[in-house]
Amino acid sequence: MERRYFGTDGIRGRVGDAPITPDFMVRLGYAAGRTLAPEGGLVVLGKDTRISGYMLESALEAGFSAAGVGVRLTGPMPTPAIAYLTRSLRARAGVVISASHNPYDDNGIKFFSAQGDKLSDEEELAIEAALEAPLQTRPSAELGRAARVNDAEGRYLEFCKNTTPEGFHLRGLKLVVDCAHGATYHLAPALFEELGATVETLGVSPDGLNINEGCGATAPEALRARVLETGADLGLAFDGDGDRLIMVDGRGTVRDGDSLLYVLAQHQQREGTLAGGVVGTLMSNLGLEQALQASAIPFARAGVGDRYVLAECQARGWRLGGEGSGHILCLDAHSTGDGMIAALQVLVALRAAEQTLEEALAPMTLCPQVLINVAAERAVLKAPSVVAAVADLEQALGNRGRILLRASGTQPLVRVMVEGLDGDEVQGAATRLADTVRAAAAGGA
């Protein structure tokens, strides 16, 4: 059955355009309630800091209530916090209103199962099928009730701290923490301060419109500048919903998810806690694969998207995986990708090895990799000019590099990735291919 609404990370789009409308959200809440909690029970409902979250929250709440499902409202909370609270509160499902790293005028809905996992394909398709049925409100005595989770923040912070070894602290460490004006704005600074770090903040003044704007994991330039300006030991950047982590080392070098995976894998290998190997994606840097191989750590590639990384980890019985974008799965600590917990695990690794981040990454050399996003629909991937350009460039690169062309599952973009040994060659190939995609999208052959 072909999906109509769900993409690689829930349902997402521009606010006011179908399906991100109040009337659809009422129907979605009802359909999800009847599918995930047919006998009633509770769902946990959280959101990030977008202004549209208020509207969508009310509509979803109404739909769940009509289906006879109770709602526990958390207010702004990171996506992984909802996964945890769903388990903690013994809810039937968790729901997050967020478009993650997208701009404020997008929004979306993510679901978690009762176990805190992303929904299976079968469950998402079942919700889509239920959307076709008429909404039949339960009798008044059976309607779901809504209530606030007043201790959500404290519960989640304690959960995060409990993923570190007993006695772990960050005293003597100076951090700059960039929360992207998103869902971690009131949590991440508190977490690291409670563990003893001196914390400077960026992106902690959300106004509903500034989420991810020139800050956070997708725009770490401001964080880099602040780290250098203040002489901080490290910078930590989260995205709008808190499931991504990008770091900046003390020298101002931006370190992506591939680099952080290497640090975690090395630590777990030293501690004897590495279960099998590491799962990356088709876009993971070749340098990560080579560095892990040099340490005899197995590496596997999954499709792009944390749900596919998770599925590959589960299939292999491995517990560590992630993406260069900063989605990092530490499945020995949490059931889903969590930026704050990933940051803690990296800090644990650095403290245990008595290394700075740059020292820990010295053995690893990333290959030049260029990623260009082109505004285009998925169909452009089959355009004759694009297919021919890919074939020509692959032949030209030979065994010196690789090309990956894919449609985004969360935005109307085509992502052009070229990786190789020579930076100039990689940049030139990526630029030419992006130009071809752009021309095809504009009506070229």
Query: pTM to 2 decimals?
Result: 0.91
Please indicate, yes or no, whether residues 28 and 72 belong to a single structural domain of this protein: yes
Range of the domain at 45: 11-149
Catalytic site residues? 100
CB 69 within 8 A of CB 144: yes
Please indicate, yes or no, whether residues 296 and 373 belong to a single structural domain of this protein: no
pLDDT of residue 138: 97
Q: Give the H or E element holding residue 320.
A: strand 320-322
Please indicate, yes or no, whether residues 15 and 124 belong to a single structural domain of this protein: yes
pLDDT of residue 411: 79
CA distances from 286 to 290, 291, 329 (A): 6, 9, 19
pLDDT of residue 445: 57
Please indicate, yes or no, whether residues 110 and 217 belong to a single structural domain of this protein: no
pLDDT of residue 1: 60
Q: Mean pLDDT in runs of 10 for the chain (445 residues)?
A: 84 97 98 97 98 98 98 98 98 97 96 94 96 96 98 98 97 98 98 98 98 97 98 98 98 98 98 97 93 97 91 97 97 97 98 98 94 93 95 90 87 91 93 95 77
Query: In the chain, how many domains are there?
Result: 4
Q: Is residue 165 part of a domain?
A: no
Task: Give the separation between CA 3 and CA 371, rounded to whole angstroms.
Answer: 27
Query: CATH number for the domain including 207?
Result: 3.40.120.10
Task: Give the separation between CA 301 and CA 308, rounded to whole angstroms.
Answer: 9
pLDDT of residue 347: 98
